[in-house]
Structure formats: structure tokens, C-alpha cells
Amino acid sequence: MQFQISHKPSFSLLKLRLGPGQSIKSEAGAMVYMSSRMGVETKMGSGFLSALSRKIFGGESFFFNTYTAPETGGEIGLAPELPGDIIDLDLVGKSIFVQSGSYLASDPGIQVVSKFGGLRSLFGGEGLFLLEISGTGKVFLSSYGAIVPIRVEGNYTVDTGHIVAFENSLQFKVGKAGGNWKSTLLGGEGLVANFSGNGTLWIQSRVPSGFISWLTKLLPV
């Protein structure tokens, strides 16, 4: 599979060139364009209960689309719903946790399963479920704003709304941004995720809620 990510980091577009019979799995609704004779198959993701939890708690679609190139090969363009960045990751028998809405596409053999995040995830504003992505192959993640990788060795604090993904070697706890609840509530930062361990964390430079808040102030009463 050959790919190119253009127009980074604000309006990223994933362009894929598939060889004969090659496939790419994507979130439903991500296709921008594709060449003629490209096969399309729609499937429910990772079983009914997992698909249901992705829809209700993870903010994701029930379904994946798998695009398969004909004997002459083919091209396809994919993009996320919101303007922002796209990155590619190579998984080799390991797993990462991804926030709702950041999974874009992957090799067909990659598994995407909803995982219960506990109350820490609920209070962090990310919903009760995270997506666990595992297997061996290529994964494409998207964001609102630019994606920045951070190597965590020990402890690291991130605003919960800026989390895109993290390796399963990291643990996190949701806590106050400041030393007390007054600074947390009035300081504009809200709750934060305190990560510990060793691994890579990916964050987004913007959050949709910030844009919505700014836009709401401009609307007529």
C-alpha cells in the first residue's frame, strides 16, 4: 500500500494507492473519492455489542467500510469529519487506546474494540468507552488541530480534551488542573489526565469544544 498525507496539519487528506486486491478499512463516512470499480463492503465492527458501545459511548459509527482495489489497482481519498491532522502508525502485535472520533482507517486485519474506561474516563469528558486498536499493520488517526507525539517517561499531565491516543503501557488518572477546585473550575482548564509509565502519548493542539464555545459567543441572541 502506498499513501500520502497532504494539506497537513489543518485540512489533512489521506490519499491511498492500493495494489490489485489490496484493501483498506475505514470509519463509515470517511471516503472523499475513489477510482472506478473499487469494491466496497460494509460490516459491523467487532461484533454487535462492541459496535453498539462504539455508537452509544464512543461517538463512533456502527459500521466500517472496507474498500478493495480491482485487478488493476485503485486510488481512494479519506478524510475525517472535522478539519485537522492525520498521522500513520505501524502496529506490530501491540495495542493503543484511542479517543472517540480519532480512528480514521487501518489495514483490514487491525482490530478495533470498545473498552470500558471506568469513571475516570467519564469524568474526564471522553465518555465511558475508549477504542482499543490492536494487531499488526498500518493505522491512521485523525484529530481536530495538529497531532503532537509526546514521549512519556515517568509522569505527564494533559488536558483531557486534547488526548488523541496513548500506548497501553501508560496508565492515567483524572484529576484537578489546579491545587484546588476553585482554580480548576475558574481557571478554564477543567480536568486533566495524569499519565504515568513509559510510552508514547499523542495529543491534539485544539479541541472542538473550544471552537464551539468561541462560535456560540458570535451567534445572535
pLDDT in tens, 162-190: 999 999 999 988 877 666 555 555 555 56
More confidently predicted of 220 and 12: 12
For the cut 50, the answer to whether the pLDDT of residue 111 exceeds it is yes
Preceding amide of 208 cis, omega within 30: no
pLDDT, position 100: 77
Q: Is 217 helix (H, G, I), strand (E, B) or coil?
A: helix
Instruction: Report the predicted TM-score, pTM, of the whole model to 2 decimal places.
Output: 0.85
Weakest-pLDDT range from 13-17, 34-38, 155-159, 191-195: 191-195
Three-state secondary structure call for residue 108: coil
pLDDT at 116 over 90: no
Q: Taking 50 as the threshold, does the pLDDT of residue 109 lie above it? A: yes
Burial (CB count within 10 angstroms: exposed 0-12, middle 13-18, buried 19+), residue 171? exposed
Mean pLDDT over 28-51 rounds to: 80
- pLDDT recorded at residue 183: 56
The partner residues of 112 in beta bridges, in order of sequence, read: 133
Share of the chain above pLDDT 90, in %: 58
Q: What is the pLDDT of residue 47?
A: 44
- The pLDDT, as a whole number, for residue 12 is 97
